[in-house]
């Protein structure tokens, strides 16, 4: 039998008749079902008759209304829903489901407890929390040192766990969801935020007393300059106490089922937290929203602020915790659903075909990891178009089905192709999972690829319009085209004016000045035997333009080449101008270390700077997280004129496009930031440049800048697949 090859490592749920986890001699983890057979958990979150309320529509529940029209009872709906889920290859229900309706349905079930979250809201005082509960994900963390916490956990576990102890269909228990392990509320956030929050508690508070006793053992006291190692040791102490108390309460009232962890919000937490989770939980659960890279057919997930293929990241977490991993929330919305998809996480796509491709790639990538025993897809039904509520404004296309009950057939078929066993034995089935489903993205026309300047986009007809021209007058230069676009700048212009610290000092379209275009790098001195800590990360902006070149292409485009001095480095930028368009295509061509010591380049940014520090604001509802055309998008809108200046990029190096605020709170500048450290395109390497060394990007660091006339129409045009030319 297969199980004879396994080493049973679960100390808590090892009776045949209930789910358990086992590890093969090879190191691969498996979930064993109540019949004693190996399986993979394939679940769905929030499978519930009511769906979601819509506060903006008077708390109506549109999905419930549709179900009441279609089904004679809730039980009839549950029977139909279970049949649909099984036909798509799903075998379980994740968090937030109508469990009572699905008993005997052939679907396993999970129970969500919220022990820590509910403890912070049980009594409204600082004695009960280390991070305040704002009733949104990632804000709550309980005071695990308060005696009430253990009593609360025991009381809640008695109510929720004891009735399930003999039910073989139950997989196990989620302790909590997305707690504030970095203490985002109630004090400074960060890896040791729980330490800081405990230190800020008043004298006599149980968390403060626990911290004082902890520090005393180290010969320290609150208020001292506490070493990071001690702060992190206290964070691990908190984490171990949380998991020890919660898991003991669960197992006291139900020794038969798995403890499924606390649904971490990604992988950003300190190692100490994951180690503590692995020490007490059967499975470590992660809500893991990943970054698809369509042209590389890869799915990336961060680990310690660097990106790796998702199976590699999950293996790192497994090795750290020593326990199997379960992905308990993930999804990819698409705009052709008709929903706004403006709120909530997950990379967006244009179409359901692309969404299905991404979901298939995620599923295959995750299940190819030997540490993973399953996942829960987020989720059964879409969110309301007007959002759920003020606290939960999510309005996105996460569902397998619409609010009228119709399925997204491209997505459900993709899941069926991967998840259905079709008579295969377990080993053969799991081995085939990575080979099933689409092997490449669905057909689509790339927006920013090697041929992005093709005439299909630029609509350039040689000879129809005069090519853009370049002229120089003293230390100044000027580029113009037939569309009324002008670029102006100076050589070696450092110190002339604040605006002069830029690659391009003026971007003018039809006589309207849109501001400057600059660039910067974030870098630090590389560690060395003489300086093992290296240097602090610093930001270095263009100080002066050393040289300007100009060439014309056979199609009539003009290419402006700038050699920019950034103090510690020199950067070469190409700006391509079409004869009859205001759009500028910007490429970073090379970076050279001009200093005397090796440097690590963490990030390169292009900085369009609109000249309205008090009047400009981001658009009312920018579309977040595009993957295809464009990858990310922002625009600047001047309230007085309605004009815009926007930038987009889908370079595989893209990290974020952010919008900085001026000191007076007004929106001022945004940046297209290319995060270089550890992205898949560089492997797991850092970009380290020796003195005089030149780096040429292996893939384009590209952005597109577009002045506009303003208004919703201009924003829509800018956001479409082909926003220019």
616 found inside a domain: no
Question: How many other CB atoms are there within 10 angstroms of residue 16's CB atom?
Answer: 11
Distances (CA, A) of 304 to 195, 263, 271, 301, 308: 20, 18, 9, 10, 10
pLDDT digits (tens, 9 = 90+) for 84-118: 999 999 999 999 999 999 999 999 999 999 999 99
Q: Are residues 271 and 323 in the same domain?
A: yes
Provide the residue range defining the domain that includes 43. 2-433
Q: Are residues 560 and 679 in the same domain?
A: yes
Looking up residue 123, the CATH number of its domain turns out to be 3.20.20.80
236 found inside a domain: yes
Q: Over 70: is that where the pLDDT of 403 sits?
A: yes
653 found inside a domain: no
Best CA proximity match to 267, nearest among 281, 254, 280, 286: 286
Q: Please say which residue of 386, 402, 433 terminates a domain.
A: 433
Question: What average pLDDT does this structure show over 446-462?
Answer: 38
618 found inside a domain: no
Q: Are residues 476 and 404 in the same domain?
A: no
Q: Please say which residue of 398, 433, 468 terminates a domain.
A: 433
Q: Are residues 324 and 472 in the same domain?
A: no
375 found inside a domain: yes
Q: Are residues 165 and 217 in the same domain?
A: yes
Q: Are residues 135 and 262 in the same domain?
A: yes
Q: pTM higher than 0.85, yes or no? A: no
Total structural domains within the chain: 2
> For residue 511, is the peptide bond before it cis, meaning its omega torsion is within 30 degrees of 0?
no
Q: Are residues 106 and 30 in the same domain?
A: yes
Q: Are residues 462 and 591 in the same domain?
A: yes
pLDDT for 243 equals 98
Q: Are residues 373 and 250 in the same domain?
A: yes
pLDDT digits (tens, 9 = 90+) for 667-689: 445 677 777 764 444 544 678 89
Task: Measure the CA–CA gap between 699 and 431, rounded to whole angstroms.
Answer: 33
547 found inside a domain: yes
pLDDT digits (tens, 9 = 90+) for 593-628: 999 999 999 889 888 776 544 434 444 334 444 433
Q: Are residues 184 and 326 in the same domain?
A: yes
623 found inside a domain: no
Task: Measure the CA–CA gap between 164 and 278, rounded to whole angstroms.
Answer: 24
pLDDT digits (tens, 9 = 90+) for 222-279: 999 999 899 999 999 999 999 999 999 999 999 999 999 999 999 988 899 999 999 9
Q: Are residues 270 and 203 in the same domain?
A: yes
Distances (CA, A) of 115 to 143, 174, 244, 261, 268: 12, 9, 13, 12, 22
450 found inside a domain: no
List all residues 6 or more positions away from 519 whose beta carbon is below 8 Å from its beta carbon.
503, 541, 542, 564, 566, 571, 573, 588, 604, 605, 606, 607
Q: Are residues 429 and 524 in the same domain?
A: no
Pair 585, 699: CB distance under 8 Å: no
């Amino acid at each position: 039998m297969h199980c004879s090859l396994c080493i049973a490592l679960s100390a808590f749920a090892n009776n045949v008749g209930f789910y358990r986890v086992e590890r093969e001699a090879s190191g691969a983890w498996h979930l064993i079902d109540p019949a004693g057979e190996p399986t993979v958990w394939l679940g769905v979150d929030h499978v519930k008759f009511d769906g979601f309320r819509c506060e903006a529509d008077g708390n109506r529940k549109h999905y419930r209304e549709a179900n009441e029209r279609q089904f004679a009872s809730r039980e009839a709906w549950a029977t139909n829903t279970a049949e649909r889920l099984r036909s798509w290859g799903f075998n379980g229900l994740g968090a937030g489901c109508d469990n009572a309706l699905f008993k005997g349905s052939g679907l396993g079930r999970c129970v969500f407890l919220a022990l820590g979250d509910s403890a912070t809201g049980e009594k409204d005082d600082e004695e009960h929390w280390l991070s305040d509960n704002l009733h949104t994900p990632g804000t709550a963390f309980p005071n695990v040192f308060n005696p009430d916490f253990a009593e609360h956990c025991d009381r809640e576990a008695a109510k929720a766990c004891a009735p399930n102890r003999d039910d073989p269909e139950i997989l196990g228990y989620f302790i909590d969801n997305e707690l504030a392990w970095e203490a985002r509320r109630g004090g400074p956030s960060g890896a040791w935020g729980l330490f800081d929050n405990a230190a800020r508690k008043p004298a006599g508070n149980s968390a403060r007393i626990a911290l004082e006793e902890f520090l005393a053992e180290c010969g320290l006291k609150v208020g001292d300059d506490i070493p990071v190692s001690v702060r992190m040791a206290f964070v691990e102490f908190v984490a171990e106490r949380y998991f020890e108390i919660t898991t003991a309460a669960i197992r006291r009232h139900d020794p038969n089922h798995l403890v499924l962890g606390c649904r971490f919000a990604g992988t950003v937490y300190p190692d100490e937290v994951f180690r503590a989770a692995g020490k007490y939980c059967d499975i470590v659960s992660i809500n893991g929203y990943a970054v698809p890279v369509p042209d590389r057919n890869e799915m990336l997930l961060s680990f310690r602020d660097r990106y790796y293929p998702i199976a590699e990241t999950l293996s790192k977490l497994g090795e750290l915790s020593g326990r199997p991993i379960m992905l308990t929330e993930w999804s990819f919305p698409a705009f052709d659903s008709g929903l706004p998809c403006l709120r909530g996480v997950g990379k967006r796509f244009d179409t359901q075909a692309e969404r299905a491709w991404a979901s298939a790639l995620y599923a295959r990538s995750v299940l190819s990891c030997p540490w993973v025993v399953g996942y829960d897809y987020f989720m059964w039904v879409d969110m309301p178009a007007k959002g759920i509520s003020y606290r939960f404004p999510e309005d996105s296309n996460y569902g397998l089905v619409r609010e009228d009950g119709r399925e997204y057939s491209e997505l459900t078929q993709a899941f069926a192709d991967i998840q259905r066993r079709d008579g295969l034995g377990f080993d053969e089935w799991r081995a085939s999972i990575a080979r099933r489903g689409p092997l490449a993205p669905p057909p689509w026309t790339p927006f920013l690829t090697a041929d992005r300047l093709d005439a299909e986009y630029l609509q350039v007809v040689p000879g129809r319009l005069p090519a853009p021209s370049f002229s120089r007058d003293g230390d100044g230069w000027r580029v113009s085209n037939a569309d009324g676009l002008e670029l102006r700048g100076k050589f070696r212009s450092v110190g002339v004016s604040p605006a002069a610290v830029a690659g391009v000092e003026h971007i003018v379209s039809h006589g309207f000045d849109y501001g400057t275009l600059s660039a910067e790098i974030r870098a630090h001195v590389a560690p060395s035997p003489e300086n093992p800590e290296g240097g602090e990360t610093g930001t270095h902006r263009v100080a002066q333009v050393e040289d300007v070149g100009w060439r014309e292409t056979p199609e009539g485009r003009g290419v402006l080449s700038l050699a920019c001095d950034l103090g510690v480095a020199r950067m070469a930028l190409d700006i391509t101008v079409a004869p009859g368009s205001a759009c500028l295509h910007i490429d970073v061509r090379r970076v050279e270390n001009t200093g005397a010591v090796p440097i690590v380049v963490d990030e390169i940014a292009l900085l369009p700077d609109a000249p309205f520090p008090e009047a400009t604001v981001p658009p009312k509802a920018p579309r977040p997280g595009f993957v295809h055309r464009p990858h990310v998008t922002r625009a600047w809108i001047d309230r007085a004129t309605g004009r815009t200046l926007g930038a987009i990029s889908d370079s595989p190096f893209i990290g974020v496009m952010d919008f900085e605020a001026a000191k007076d709170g007004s929106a001022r500048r945004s940046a297209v930031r290319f995060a270089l450290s550890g992205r898949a395109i560089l492997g797991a390497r850092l970009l380290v440049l020796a003195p005089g060394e030149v780096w040429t990007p292996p893939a384009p660091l590209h952005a597109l800048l577009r002045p506009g006339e303003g208004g919703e129409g201009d924003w829509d045009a800018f956001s479409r697949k082909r926003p220019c030319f």
